[in-house]
């Protein structure tokens, strides 16, 4: 089959799934082809394993065929281009797209770009408001695991304690003016096959509009997480700022043999390697 025939067949399948859903089996499928919004060069560069600590390349995503189809993907290129591009969309229906560049410093990946809504079917021209977008700036921790880049996770240090940090910045500023900085330390305090227990120390810093007057809050609590399926879920009645789920990298649910890292989200529609750009969670000790 030639390239043109393969492209035509792929378009035909998409047409059937969009307008004849009864002909397509429901299910979740991985991203296998280059998104049309990504250049051939960027797609090629995003393939393979990271070549160094500052190489955050990712090329992944998925497509769900069901009552409401959904498509999502994340493409990150290595240095020197350092580009990122993420999309999530219901088919047909609304969605969100962000794109920009990143840099690595202070142990975090700093992303700067624009976000814009998607309201039309793929292939249709965007309106002016959709083209303009809104600025976006944030920083995530990351780790290279099994030859892939993952973001937003708890990772064990040399002392056996789990470290986490994430930053938000004022998006409309020309410089990196801080908005919030969240730091967590999870100290294991034993557990059973059904429950994990941690002593958690948290440092939250908020800044004023100038980014020059920090307001720091130090919080400390004991956290319990209960085993359910392949994850540990936060127990009821605990602090809102605690992560709601801990997913062990590698899938081993053992209190005696804790993993090197915990992912802070489960696989769901739109999830790619922990990449996230949501607003800061609510903070307050209980």
113: closest CA among 122, 104, 103, 105? 103
* All residues at 6 or more sequence positions from 28 whose CB lies less than 8 Å from its CB, including other chains: 62, 63, 64
What does pTM read for this prediction? 0.85
* pLDDT mean over 240-268: 87
SS3 44: helix
Question: How far is 22 from 163, CA to CA, in rounded Å?
Answer: 47
- 116-130, pLDDT tens digit by residue? 888 654 555 555 555
Residues 223, 234 contacting (CB under 8 angstroms) = yes
Biggest CA pair distance of the chain: 63
Residue 125: predicted pLDDT = 56
Residue 120: predicted pLDDT = 54
pLDDT tier, 131 (very low <50, low <70, confident <90, very high otherwise): low
- Main-chain dihedrals φ then ψ at residue 106, nearest 5 degrees: 55, 30
Strand 245-248 and strand 214-228: pairing?
unpaired
């Amino acid at each position: 089959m030639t390239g043109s025939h393969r492209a035509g067949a792929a378009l035909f399948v998409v047409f059937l799934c969009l307008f004849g859903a009864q002909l397509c089996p429901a299910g979740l499928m991985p991203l296998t082809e280059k998104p049309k919004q990504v250049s051939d060069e960027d797609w090629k560069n995003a393939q393979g394993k990271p070549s160094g600590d500052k190489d955050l390349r990712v090329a992944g995503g998925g497509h769900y065929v069901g009552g409401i189809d959904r498509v999502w993907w994340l493409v990150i290129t290595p240095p020197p281009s350092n580009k990122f591009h993420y999309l999530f969309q219901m088919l047909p229906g609304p969605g969100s797209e962000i794109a920009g560049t990143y840099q690595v410093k202070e142990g975090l990946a700093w992303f700067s770009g624009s976000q814009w809504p998607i309201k039309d079917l793929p292939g249709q021209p965007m309106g002016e408001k959709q083209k303009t977008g809104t600025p976006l700036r944030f920083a995530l921790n990351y780790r290279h695991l099994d030859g892939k880049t993952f973001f937003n996770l708890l990772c064990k240090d040399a002392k056996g304690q789990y470290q986490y940090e994430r930053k938000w910045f004022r998006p409309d500023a020309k410089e990196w003016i801080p908005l919030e900085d969240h730091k967590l330390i999870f100290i294991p305090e034993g557990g059973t096959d059904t429950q994990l227990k941690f002593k958690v120390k948290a440092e939250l810093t908020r800044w004023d509009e100038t980014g020059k007057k920090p307001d720091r809050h130090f919080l400390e609590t004991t956290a319990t997480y209960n085993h359910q399926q392949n994850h540990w879920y936060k127990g009821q009645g605990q602090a809102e700022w605690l992560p709601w789920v801990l997913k062990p990298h590698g899938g081993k649910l053992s209190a005696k043999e804790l993993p090197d890292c915990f992912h802070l989200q489960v696989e769901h529609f739109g999830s790619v390697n922990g990449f996230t750009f949501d607003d800061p969670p609510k903070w307050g000790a209980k």
